[in-house]
Amino acid sequence: MKPRLQRSATIMFLVSIGLLVVALIGGPTLTRAEGDKTFTVDVTEDCNNAHVNPVVPGEPFTEVTPGDTIVVTGTIYPGGTLKPGSQSNLPTDPGSIGNWLSRAVFIVDTNQFNNGESPIAFATMLYMFPHDSKSLVSEGLVPNVGSRTERAVLGGTGSYASSTGQVRMENIGTNGTGCFNYRFSFRLKDQQ
């Protein structure tokens, strides 16, 4: 074999071995955007069904300290149902498409919260369409009014059993219970 051909054959052999190694140890994963599922929902958080476990014993419900935990429910509506700002809507208003549950830990104190610092907490959230047999779970930071965060979608149940992706959480204002109205824009990966 001529030296030039021998060198080309050696290079091709080494490239082939390199590609095989990458394939075996896991190279980059390609995703298909065209099959991804996107949708938006609004949530009315219900202060009438909020349970706080304060770090400071006896701390009033209106005060927060980093480390306080809260479990709160809410009602899910089609995206665009809720208006931004201070509203009088309630979680019992008609048009619900599901239920929402959040378990959170505050990372700000009352002054930071009232001064608009964001994020205010980190939380695990469960979105049930309409109950736990068809649900999604997200984890991440919780924004203050007028702010937004990106959260991880960890999975779900039913038709969402293998779902992962991201959800943009926007705190669009307050409702008639004194809690927040949120907008969640989901981008779920195609699991094909």
Homologous superfamily assigned to 33-188: Allene oxide cyclase-like (2.40.480.10)
C-alpha span between 48 and 177 (Å, rounded): 6
Q: What's the pLDDT score for residue 28?
A: 29
| pLDDT tier at 3, thresholds 50, 70, 90 | low
Q: What's the pLDDT score for residue 13?
A: 42
31-63 tens-digit pLDDT: 334 568 999 999 999 999 999 999 999 998 889
Beta bridge partners of 151: 167
Given a cut of 70, whether residue 103 has pLDDT beyond it is yes
| pLDDT tier at 101, thresholds 50, 70, 90 | very high
Tokens 């590609």 belong to: 19
Selection from 84, 126, 135 nearest residue 103 by Cα: 126
Q: What's the pLDDT score for residue 61?
A: 82
138-170 tens-digit pLDDT: 999 999 999 999 999 999 999 999 999 999 999
* Domain extents in the chain: 33-188
Residue bearing the bigger pLDDT, 22 or 173: 173
Selection from 180, 183, 185 nearest residue 45 by Cα: 180
Please state the rounded mean pLDDT for residues 167-181.
Answer: 98
Q: What is the DSSP string of the chain?
A: --HHHHHHHHHHHHHHHHHHHHHHH--PPP--GGG-EEEEEEEEEEEEEEEEE-SSTT--TT---TT-EEEEEEEEEETT-SPSEE----TTSS---EEEEEEEEE-S-HHHHHTT-S--EEEEEEEESSSTTSEEEEEEEEPPTT-EEEEEEEEEEGGGTT--EEEEEEEEEE-TTSSEEEEEEEEEPP--
Of 11-15, 38-42, 90-94, 152-156, which gets the smallest average pLDDT? 11-15
Residue 46 and residue 72 in contact, taking contact as beta carbons nearer than 8 Å: yes
61-87 tens-digit pLDDT: 889 999 999 999 999 999 999 999 999
Q: What is the pTM of this model?
A: 0.81
C-alpha span between 123 and 105 (Å, rounded): 6
